[in-house]
Amino acid sequence: MRVPIVAGNWKMHMTSGEAEQLARGILDSLDGTVRVEVVVCPAFTVLERVRKVLGDSPLKLGAQNLHWAEEGAFTGEVSAGMLLTCGCEFVILGHSERRTWFGESDTTVNQRLRAALGAGLKPIVCVGETIEERQSGATEPVVRRQVTAAFKGVPAPDAAGCVVAYEPVWAIGTGLTATPSQADAVHTSIRRVMRELYNDNVARAVRLQYGGSVKPENAADLFNRPDIDGGLIGGASLEPDAFAAIVKAAV
Ligand code: PGA
């Protein structure tokens, strides 16, 4: 049985005080009833402050990226070890905004994934097609290429513990959502790729999130699909009540 997982990607939002308020708001809105895994992923600058607010609640902390080196002359980058000391358990990798704006490639996603696993962080690996790729019928090959490249050299037990977020680029922050059947079809194909790369156990164990304009109104229909194990939430994760409603939809 896969435990559903809902993660909030706060992106480049929330100064220190705002982040603390948001974290408190989420704890209040969830009201202790968390029967799925819930992760919040704030900016690097507020990780420690949010960690303190989360305290011994079941909510977990994640970061939005990391660099693959342990340390060194990499101005502006943050290592896995640094994230661990801030209390992170999860890390988002290969988000389409990083691929689009910051030169992230299949190769660097793989390097980051292996570094995260090596350090004991749980990766949330993002994949997804652009609108042009969907319209030309290339969704499945694109997602297959991204998943295959990301997991190159990753051993089966590590892969089984990963989360893969399917986030169609055209649905991120646009208000457009993949229909539950469109999303589920891609999730099924990701599971098929994991079965080919590894085995049935890994394919069954890996958790697959959907991301892209998930809201309280559409969350339950998406999460009810057999191959959708929760969501990666952007905009709606910045509103405590909306995020809590999405979490409850995953229960
Ligand atoms: P969105 O973002 O929910 O605002 O569409 C999702 C994401 O980028 O992870």
| Any ligand 1 atom below 6 A from CB of 213 | yes
End-to-end CA distance of the chain: 13
Q: Which atom of ligand 1 is nearest to the CA of 212?
A: 5
| Any ligand 1 atom below 6 A from CB of 235 | yes
pLDDT at 1: 83
Distance, CA of 37 to CA of 251 (rounded, Å): 9
Residue at 117: amino acid letter: L
pLDDT at 31: 83
Distance from residue 169's CA to the centre of ligand 1 (Å): 9
Distance from residue 226's CA to the centre of ligand 1 (Å): 21
Distance, CA of 3 to CA of 20 (rounded, Å): 27
pLDDT at 33: 62
Radius of gyration of the chain (CA): 17
Instruction: Categorise residue 116: left if φ over 0, alpha if ψ from -120 to 50, beta otherwise.
Output: alpha
| Any ligand 1 atom below 6 A from CB of 234 | yes
Q: Check: CB of residue 2 under 8 Å from CB of residue 205.
A: yes
- CA–CA distance from 69 to each of 100, 114, 116 (Å)? 22, 10, 10
- Residue with CA at minimum distance from ligand 1 atom 7: 234
pLDDT at 245: 97
Q: Which atom of ligand 1 is nearest to the CA of 211?
A: 6
| Any ligand 1 atom below 6 A from CB of 96 | no
CA max distance for the chain: 48
Kindly report, residue by residue over 202-239, the tens digit of the pLDDT. 999 999 999 999 999 999 999 999 999 999 999 999 99
Kindly report, residue by residue over 1-37, the tens digit of the pLDDT. 899 999 999 999 999 999 999 999 999 999 876 789 9
As annotated, the active-site residues are 95, 167
- Residue with CA at minimum distance from ligand 1 atom 1: 234
Which secondary-structure segment (H or E) carries 9? Answer: strand 5-9
pLDDT at 35: 84
> What parts of the chain have a pLDDT lower than 50?
none
Distance from residue 65's CA to the centre of ligand 1 (Å): 15
Q: For the chain, list the domains and their CATH numbers.
A: 5-91+102-214+225-237 (3.20.20.70)
pTM, 2 dp: 0.97
